[in-house]
């Protein structure tokens, strides 16, 4: 099957060059193509369909917690961006500016939103007057622009898609509760729908969001041992409210500042899915977010009855997202394409199978072949999809556990990060100086202080002072 070989041979092996493998998969699985605008990608239908399912699953979870969707402008006046000092310092180096409206120079330049805290603050200031106006729990699905120097499909692009939730509450405690609630929503979505196990924790002050009191994160481990921050949730306390004068009259008839949160997940999630589950034949997409869950491939489709049998099987699978590949390409090519695109299950049906009243199911994740009576195909596919979803999570979880190491001293840090093998857990005294030292010396960042703490030792491995927290370290995307 020469054409089969050709389709696959153009992917670099992930063991040879993981970076090139990733790019090859993005292109060959038809997820993206490059555009004329440097650092911006075209998300093609196969890629966008995955994003639509991510949106669908996540949006349902958001709404179950009382979130409503809204849409705010994409431009932020410079004066508005500058109101919160830490925030503007964090984002100013990478914003794109609009200086003209038509032919006329603007009296004040606008940036294209890199994130919308300032706009939501401006909006909330007009909306919130009394405790009766609280809480405000809004989300928007949109794109944002950050002028990145180096870009890669899904992982880093100058314009990317995301959702950003922004809420306002009467008290710090309520804001904290919402911050953690949304982190749990992300973890639940990533683990149950994307089959990506995550470490939940808090960012150190050095790594937290510009303007936040506390940033929580869900960190995932990619196949090559690098970390990927998969979603974040921030508690701003009343910092933004003070900068933007967002006050409400409480039940006590006094004025109080609101407490705010924000939380986001981006198209990077698709990059995480590729790098957690993919293999040398291409994508492996978890059934719950696979745009096509089953493809029916007729073999010797010109033989009498084969094509009709394939259509009948597809009809019996109408509870799932199913497609029949009746094009006149060879079965070998179709198999390779199913593997490249990561379609969880393929059904093969040929003249001999038809005679015996059977078909063959093939799992994308394990390549296991299962004979199945045509009359039972619907029930069997349903079982298989559930099983694949569970097995994919279990495999990723095992990889995470097997690639999480402990460092009691600098030597053990060096050993792990000589080549990136995975996460390193180590104790930390809490001083910025030690965090900076580890970053410089081993070219890694603190990923989070996990909620599930362990006591590895009593002292910081860098300075020997008493340890305060256990930290996950990693080389990140």
According to DSSP, residue 282 is labeled B
Using the minimum distance from each CB to Zn ion, give the nearer residue, 66 or 466: 466
Using the minimum distance from each CB to Zn ion, give the nearer residue, 243 or 438: 438
Using the minimum distance from each CB to Zn ion, give the nearer residue, 77 or 430: 430
Closest of 277, 286, 319, 65 to residue 192, by C-alpha:
286
Using the minimum distance from each CB to Zn ion, give the nearer residue, 50 or 407: 407
Give the count of alpha carbons within 13 A of 437, CB side only: 14
According to DSSP, residue 423 is labeled E
Using the minimum distance from each CB to Zn ion, give the nearer residue, 7 or 434: 434
* Residue 261, token pair as written in the block: 């949160």
According to DSSP, residue 353 is labeled H
Closest separation in Å from C-beta 429 to Zn ion: 3
Closest separation in Å from C-beta 467 to Zn ion: 8
Residue numbers of the site for Zn ion (CB under 5 A)?
A: 429, 434, 460, 462-463
Closest separation in Å from C-beta 427 to Zn ion: 9
395 contacts 444 by C-beta, under 8 angstroms: no
Give the distance from CA 21 to its chain's centroid: 19
Using the minimum distance from each CB to Zn ion, give the nearer residue, 374 or 448: 448
- Compute the CA torsion angle 284, 286, 292, 295 (nearest 10 deg): 60
Packing angle of the helix pair 45-64, 268-277 (nearest 10 deg): 110
* Residue 204, token pair as written in the block: 């150190």
Closest separation in Å from C-beta 42 to Zn ion: 47
Using the minimum distance from each CB to Zn ion, give the nearer residue, 294 or 460: 460
* Residue 288, token pair as written in the block: 């719950």
* DSSP letters spanning 168-193: EESSHHHHHHHHHHHHHHHHHHHHHT
Q: How far is CA 11 from CA 25, 118, 341, in A?
A: 7, 43, 13
Using the minimum distance from each CB to Zn ion, give the nearer residue, 328 or 433: 433
* Residue 53, token pair as written in the block: 């399912």
d(CA 319, CA 380): 12
Cα-atom radius of gyration of the chain, to the nearest Å? 25
Using the minimum distance from each CB to Zn ion, give the nearer residue, 142 or 459: 459
| 465 three-class SS | coil
Phi and psi at residue 134, to the nearest 5°: -115, 155
Closest separation in Å from C-beta 145 to Zn ion: 38
Exposed e or buried b per residue across 425-435, where buried means at least 16 C-beta atoms within 10 angstroms of its C-beta: bbbbbbeeebb
Give the distance from CA 370 to its chain's centroid: 32
| 40 three-class SS | coil
3 contacts 330 by C-beta, under 8 angstroms: yes
Using the minimum distance from each CB to Zn ion, give the nearer residue, 270 or 462: 462
């Amino acid at each position: 099957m020469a054409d089969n070989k050709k389709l696959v041979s153009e992917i670099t092996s992930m063991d040879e060059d993981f970076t090139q493998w990733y790019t090859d998969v993005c292109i060959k699985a038809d997820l993206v193509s490059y555009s004329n605008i440097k650092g911006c990608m075209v998300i093609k239908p196969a890629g966008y369909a995955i994003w639509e399912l991510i949106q669908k699953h996540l949006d349902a979870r958001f709404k179950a917690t009382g979130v409503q969707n809204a849409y705010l402008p994409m431009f932020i006046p410079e004066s508005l961006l500058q109101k919160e000092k830490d925030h503007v310092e964090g984002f100013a180096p990478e914003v794109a500016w609009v200086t003209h409206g038509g032919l006329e120079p603007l009296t004040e330049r606008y940036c294209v939103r890199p994130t919308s805290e300032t706009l939501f603050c401006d909006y909330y200031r007009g909306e919130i007057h009394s405790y009766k106006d609280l809480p405000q729990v809004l989300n928007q699905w949109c794109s944002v622009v950050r002028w990145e120097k180096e870009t890669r499909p899904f992982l880093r692009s100058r314009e990317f898609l995301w959702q950003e939730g922004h809420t306002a509450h009467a008290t710090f405690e309520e804001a904290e509760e919402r911050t953690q609630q949304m982190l749990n929503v992300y973890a639940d979505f990533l683990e149950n729908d994307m089959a990506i196990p995550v470490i939940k924790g808090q960012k150190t002050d050095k790594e937290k969001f510009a303007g936040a009191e506390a940033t929580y994160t869900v960190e995932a481990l990619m196949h090559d041992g690098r970390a990927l921050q998969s979603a974040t949730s921030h508690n701003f306390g009343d910092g933004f409210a003070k900068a933007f004068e967002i006050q409400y009259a409480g039940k006590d008839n006094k004025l109080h500042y609101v407490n705010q949160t924000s939380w986001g997940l981006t198209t990077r999630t698709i990059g995480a899915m590729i790098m957690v589950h993919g293999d040398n034949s291409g994508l492996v997409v978890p059934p719950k977010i696979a745009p096509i869950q089953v493809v029916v491939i007729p073999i010797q489709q010109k033989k009498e009855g084969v094509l009709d049998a394939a259509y009948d099987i597809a009809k019996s699978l109408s509870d799932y997202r199913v497609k029949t590949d009746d094009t006149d390409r060879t079965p070998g090519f179709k198999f390779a394409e199913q593997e490249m695109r990561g379609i969880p299950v393929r059904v093969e049906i040929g003249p001999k199978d038809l005679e015996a009243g059977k078909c063959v199911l093939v799992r994308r994740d394990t390549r296991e072949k299962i004979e199945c009576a045509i009359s039972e195909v619907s029930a069997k596919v349903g079982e298989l999809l559930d099983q694949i979803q569970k097995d994919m999570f279990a495999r990723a979880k095992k990889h995470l556990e097997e690639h999480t190491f402990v460092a009691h001293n600098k030597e053990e840090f060096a050993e792990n990060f000589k080549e990136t093998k995975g996460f390193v857990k180590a104790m930390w005294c809490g001083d910025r100086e030690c965090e900076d030292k580890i970053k410089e010396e081993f070219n890694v960042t603190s990923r989070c202080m996990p909620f599930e703490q362990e006591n590895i030792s009593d002292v910081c491995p860098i300075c020997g002072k008493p340890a305060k927290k256990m930290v996950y370290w990693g080389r990140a995307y």
